[in-house]
Amino acid sequence: MIQGIATVVKNAGSHFMLSCLPEWNLFPAVLRGKVRLAAGNSTNPVAVGDRVRFEYEKEPDETHPAVITEILDRKNHLIRKSTNLSRQSHVIAANLDRAFLVVTLYFPEIKLPFLDRQLVSCAVFGIPATIVLNKVDLYRDEAPEQVERFKHIYTDAGYQVIETSARTGEGIQTLRELCKGQVVLFSGESGVGKSSLIKAIDPSLNPKTGEISLAHLQGKHTTSLYEMYPLGSGGYVVDTPGLRGFGLYGLEKEEIAKYFPEMLRVADQCRFVPCTHTHEPGCAVKQAVEEGAISAERYNSYLGMLEEDSKFRQ
């Protein structure tokens, strides 16, 4: 019996590909039933980036895959509520050094509450997040005020915003430098250009890319698997399917404001503690919104997260 420790580099539902990093030598594996049962309310007990123990009696192949016997402790993971299964969670990836949250102002049109939920989740689980404003070559000249407004909202809140274009190469070297020697995730809605950015960072890679559906200006799902790729400059990148919903998981309502950096900076000035920043008199957060120190867009995202409206539950 051969045993060892490897990293999950591809998740195809019930089958996985493993590699004993830093070596890139893939072999197939399946999950032992007891491990799956122990996962509790997660729809996917094993995620890309997980370090796992495995065993096999003969060299693994498609007919005789290795068996995953244990999932080792994670340093972090990005998780969301599962679509249509609000009591269950879905782990997007694990053991990340950074998450690049890719958005476009148009093609497809940005949904700020979606981005804000990802930012909150990254903060909750200890994953540094960088916002990537992609496809700027398509709309910067036509909508410069909207570009500057977006950058103003998020840089003032405390986030790094990188403007990129896979077509022109803008911002690609910056991304490349941030990826070196790291395990990074590219996440975002369908059609924002995650796979094209990954290919621009390392042209030797060939993640699936797709066109935008002009009928609804929504991206078609071109990546159906969660998959990790090795970067020629060192490090690894995780490509994900385009997400259409991102429900918060493992977070109480009272805690949400703590993960809005701009709110946290003024919250200790509120008259009442604790303060929900909704109806209380003397609320420093509401005053900051009125004065423009906190953007109305971010504050509205916060209010949306407090609601139990089905619009925000995925």
* 74/27 Cα distance (integer angstroms): 22
State the pLDDT at residue 90.
Answer: 83
Q: Are 234 and 270 contained in the same domain? A: no
State yes or no: cis peptide before 207, omega within 30 of 0. no
Positions of the chain with pLDDT lower than 70, given as ranges: 34-42, 82-87, 207-224, 244, 308-314
Q: Are 195 and 289 contained in the same domain? A: no
Q: Which of 89, 73, 71 is nearest to 29 (CA)?
A: 71
Residue 197 lies inside a defined structural domain of this protein: yes
Which two structure tokens, joined as six digits, stand for 293? 């120190």
State the pLDDT at residue 47.
Answer: 92
The whole domain housing 206 covers 87-239
- What is the total count of domains within the chain? 3
State the pLDDT at residue 225.
Answer: 75
State yes or no: cis peptide before 28, omega within 30 of 0. no
Residue 80 lies inside a defined structural domain of this protein: no
* 102/133 Cα distance (integer angstroms): 6
* 253/257 Cα distance (integer angstroms): 8
Query: Is the CB of residue 40 less than 8 Å from the CB of residue 258?
Result: no
pTM, to two decimals = 0.86
State the pLDDT at residue 37.
Answer: 56
Q: Are 125 and 28 contained in the same domain? A: no
- Alpha helices, DSSP H only, in the chain? 33-38, 112-124, 136-139, 144-157, 172-179, 194-201, 261-264, 284-291, 296-306
- Residue that is last in its domain, among 44, 71, 98: 71
Report the chain's terminal Cα–Cα distance, integer Å.
Answer: 43
* 247/82 Cα distance (integer angstroms): 7
State the pLDDT at residue 36.
Answer: 60
**Counting every residue, how long is the chain?**
314
Q: Are 192 and 277 contained in the same domain? A: no
CA 22 → CA 68, 231, 266, distances in Å? Answer: 19, 11, 44
Residue 46 lies inside a defined structural domain of this protein: yes
Q: Are 217 and 144 contained in the same domain? A: yes
State the pLDDT at residue 164.
Answer: 97
